[in-house]
Structure 1
């Protein structure tokens, strides 16, 4: 099982425990113990912004377009993942599910429909982090099953992909309305 968390926009992987068989002792062997031991191992992560990542479902298309549009699509995926998880789980109270779902859905719609210059990227990134942290609260509860934990991971990884798309868009001068191209500055001086 691969457990991942996103804190302040960083995808973090926790270690998992795997059973390993120790060499069997036999005639002429200096191994005196038999049995198994647990040893920590870290599962190799897929790059989080690639179609092969663990939350990217095979029937989904990897979005193209501006960073804000891609972020909106990923937020839509997060809504789908939350809906899938809450069909069978009652870990998260209905009121909280509704609040989280409405926030993600509203952000998704806004990012897919609005002109990119009207988007407050920093506030949107902050909101996706807040939503992810709310979900981690429930994931850390002892009564959270592996299936629920996996469902929450799908939602938070979709939120992570949305933040990554926004961050890439914000840092690309040709796409971002939050920056001015150097040629525009030179024209203003002349």
Structure 2
């Protein structure tokens, strides 16, 4: 089996010890890999969530059973259920206790597309496989069982640097689909990528 992590370096824990406003654009072009079956996608869109400074963050009002993973350790997956039907995956960052995370909003599929199509039967083309946080979670089989999963030493999902640099000038916009702090310009995406969720 061609496992993408064999062709790149798994990101170290220190990479995640950054403010989400710094980390988010640096995550662009990194590769999310499922170690079980080799499914992989290049990150092309992200959103930052800034804990107690951010009314839209799940951690805004403090630590709860639902959001506990957001408070550390860093370099883990925070996975939550939304609208009673969708899972979304986030990268925990900063320092332990911050409640900071970056939402992975879209991927460009790069490996295991047959498995992604099997998981997302409604997708009509490669672009529709992972162009949104719920879609990519479905395509990559990310669900509540992965909440708290270690992206550095874990046996399920890892983030890999395959040598493709983050874009020097990513597009920066306001976040999408929020009722609070929607005006914060904390969303970044790869310019001209056809795989993002929304221009």
Q: Looking at CA atoms only, which structure, 1 or 2, has the larger radius of gyration?
A: 1
Higher strand share: 2
Asked if TM exceeds 0.5, the reply is no
User: Per the shorter chain, which TM-score range?
Assistant: under 0.3
TM-score by length of 2: 0.26
Say which structure is richer in helix. Answer: 1
